[in-house]
Structure 1
């Protein structure tokens, strides 16, 4: 897969999410969320979920885990996604002419 495939899948996923998301909570998650809500007193539980997503995203980027998953699935990194170009495109490595092995060492 490529950078274009990644952009297409992100756009599709973004469109399908909408503004609201129903989440099924298991017992452990419900307990942790109740504790966080009691301790932090947000305006709504939704705010805690938004913060949790931001924190997970930030941690995933900082640890390089997002790069691992993007490289595995799309053969790009997060930096390449942000720039809209692969490393080879940035450095011009994909612009070299093909080598002709018969004439390679002729001057």
Structure 2
């Protein structure tokens, strides 16, 4: 997979999500959400869920967890995704490929 594959998958997922997502809650999640609603008294529960997604995303970025999963699946990092190019493309590493053949003649006189 590549940076282009990641971009295409993100666009597909974004389209599939639409504006609203129906989420079923297990007992523990419902209890925790009720506690957060009582404590923070948001205008609606949706606001807490939006905050939760933001916090999970930020945590995954800061801990490197997101990059780990992106590297495993797409062989790119989050920084590469943000810049729109891989590290090799940034540093020019793919502009001047090294010869793969062994050249012993350069040490002969």
Length-normalised TM-score, structure 2: 0.92
What is the CA distance between 1:105 and its match in structure 2?
2.8
Q: Deviations 1:20-71 (Å, cap 9, x if unpaired)?
A: 0000000000000000001100000000000000000000000000010000
Q: How does 1:9-88 map onto structure 2 within 5 Å? A: 9-88=9-88
Once residues 65 and 96 of structure 1 are traced to their aligned partners in structure 2, the CA distance between those partners, rounded to angstroms, is: 32
**For residue 5 of structure 1, what is the aligned residue in structure 2?**
5
Kindly report the root-mean-square deviation, in angstroms, between the aligned alpha carbons of the 2 structures: 1.4
Q: 1:19 to 1:104 in 2, by over 3 A?
A: farther
Total equivalences in the alignment: 106
The 3-state SS of whatever aligns with 1:95 is coil
Once residues 105 and 97 of structure 1 are traced to their aligned partners in structure 2, the CA distance between those partners, rounded to angstroms, is: 19
What is the CA distance between 1:17 and its match in structure 2?
0.3
Once residues 25 and 67 of structure 1 are traced to their aligned partners in structure 2, the CA distance between those partners, rounded to angstroms, is: 28
Runs of 4+ in 1 over 3 A off after TM superposition: 100-104
What is the CA distance between 1:104 and its match in structure 2?
7.0
What is the CA distance between 1:103 and its match in structure 2?
7.6
Length-normalised TM-score, structure 1: 0.93
Once residues 38 and 75 of structure 1 are traced to their aligned partners in structure 2, the CA distance between those partners, rounded to angstroms, is: 42
- Structure 1: give runs of 5+ residues left out of the alignment: none
